[in-house]
């Protein structure tokens, strides 16, 4: 028996799992370990879903999105991505977007703990708890301007995250700039991904685990893991740990992107200019 600093770096078998990102690699490793019949295509598809930066949860119950609520996403072959809701980032008239963390991955017999990693969550606006104050409330009026946004909040958040994670500034807008500081600040406490798909993806089996103990989303991590020496495909039925170095912020590989080039002017900016013109006349 031997100790490994990280399950990701341990050569459990000679099969190639060519993924730079730890979440993708460990999804592939669990499927390969527990389901020898799984095809390379199935492994690739499921590993790719693990790289989606943001989860859409359109059927989240009303007033259910509260910090500390566990969240999960079911993949094929019994693999489940698990995480937790952390803090409200903003909202518009239709949706609310939360910062969250991907915390661990489970299979039928395996559990791999990850360093807490950035996750975005979109829920219907009605899912926001009334106890959750919007971070954009004005001290003077006690109100926020989020419902007045004429651009979809999710697309603006994606513009901000692609800049923070990958340094991509080509599709920045005035509205998106407001989300850069809170995303960057949150990344002081969680890891950025090494690779990501910049999209809010809707996958069946993505749910808030309302009423569950918060420890379901953030279970204690084992201090160390004893691993068998020598190559083998089967993961040991114990709790395993990824403790790879933190990826460098601003250097993530963007594998896909839902952001479209912005208009010459954002609709909100046009409205403001028209109001100024009317005042001048």
Looking at residue 4, what is its pLDDT? 42
pLDDT digits (tens, 9 = 90+) for 234-256: 787 778 888 888 999 999 999 99
4 or 43: whose pLDDT is higher?
43
What is the maximal distance between C-alpha atoms in the chain? 82
Specify burial of residue 67 (Cβ count, 10 A radius: 0-12, 13-18, 19+). middle
pLDDT digits (tens, 9 = 90+) for 11-33: 556 666 777 899 998 999 899 88
Report yes or no: 271 and 145 within 8 Å, Cβ to Cβ: no
pLDDT digits (tens, 9 = 90+) for 57-81: 999 999 999 999 999 999 999 999 9
The closest alpha carbon to 89, from 128, 50, 49, belongs to 128
Report yes or no: 161 and 198 within 8 Å, Cβ to Cβ: yes
pLDDT at 269 over 80: no
Taking residues 170-190, what's their average pLDDT?
94
Distances (CA, A) of 232 to 12, 34, 40, 132, 148: 5, 12, 18, 48, 57
Judged by phi (left if over 0) then psi (alpha if -120 to 50, else beta), residue 15 lies in beta
Give the global pTM.
0.86
Looking at residue 9, what is its pLDDT? 60
Taking residues 104-116, what's their average pLDDT?
93
């Amino acid at each position: 028996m031997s100790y490994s600093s990280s399950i990701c770096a341990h050569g459990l078998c000679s099969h190639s799992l060519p993924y730079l990102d730890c979440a993708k690699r460990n999804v592939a490793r669990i499927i390969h370990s527990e389901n020898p019949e799984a095809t390379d295509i199935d492994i690739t598809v499921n590993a790719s879903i693990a790289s989606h930066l943001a989860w859409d949860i359109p059927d989240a119950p009303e007033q259910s999105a509260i910090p500390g609520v566990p969240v999960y996403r079911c993949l094929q072959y019994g693999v489940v991505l698990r995480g937790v809701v952390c803090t409200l980032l903003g909202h518009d008239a239709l949706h609310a977007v939360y910062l969250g963390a991907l915390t661990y991955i489970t299979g039928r017999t395996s559990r791999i703990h990850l360093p807490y990693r950035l996750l975005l969550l979109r829920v219907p606006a009605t899912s926001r708890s009334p106890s959750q104050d919007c971070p954009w409330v004005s001290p003077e009026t006690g109100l926020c301007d989020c419902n007045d946004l004429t651009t979809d909040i999710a697309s603006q958040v994606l513009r901000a995250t692609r800049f923070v994670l990958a340094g991509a500034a080509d599709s920045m807008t005035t509205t998106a700039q407001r989300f850069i500081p809170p995303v960057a600040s949150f990344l002081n406490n969680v890891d950025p991904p090494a690779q990501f798909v910049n999209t809010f993806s809707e996958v069946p089996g993505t749910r808030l685990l309302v009423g569950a103990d918060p420890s379901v989303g953030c279970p204690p991590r084992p201090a160390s893991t004893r691993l068998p020496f020598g190559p083998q495909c089967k993961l040991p039925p114990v709790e395993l740990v990824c403790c790879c170095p933190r990826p460098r912020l601003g250097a993530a590989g963007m594998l896909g992107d839902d952001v479209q080039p912005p208009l010459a002017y954002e609709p909100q900016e046009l409205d403001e200019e028209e109001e100024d013109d009317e005042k001048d006349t």
